[in-house]
Amino acid sequence: MKKGLTLIEVFVTTVIIVILFSIAVPRLQRMRINSNEAAARVIVQKISVAAETYAFAHNGVYASNIINLTSSTPRYLEENYSAKPQHGYNFVYSSPDIQGTGYSATGIPVSCNRTGTRVFVVTTNNTTRAALSVSGCI
56-108 pLDDT, tens digit each: 999 989 999 999 999 988 999 999 999 999 999 999 999 888 888 889 999 99
pLDDT band at 133 (very low <50, low <70, confident <90, very high): low
> Who has greater pLDDT, 125 or 124?
124
CATH architecture of 7-136: 2-Layer Sandwich (3.30)
- Predicted local distance difference test score (pLDDT) of residue 125: 58
Name the pTM for this structure.
0.79
Burial (0-12, 13-18, 19+ Cβ within 10 Å), 135: exposed
Residue 129 pLDDT > 50: no
| Structure confidence by residue, pLDDT tens digits, 4-49 | 778 888 888 899 998 888 888 888 899 999 999 999 999 999 999 9
The SS3 assignment for 136 reads strand
Q: Are 45 and 122 in contact (CB under 8 A)?
A: yes
Q: Cite the beta strand spans of the chain per DSSP E.
A: 89-94, 103-109, 118-124, 131-136
Q: Which residue has the higher pLDDT, 130 or 104?
A: 104
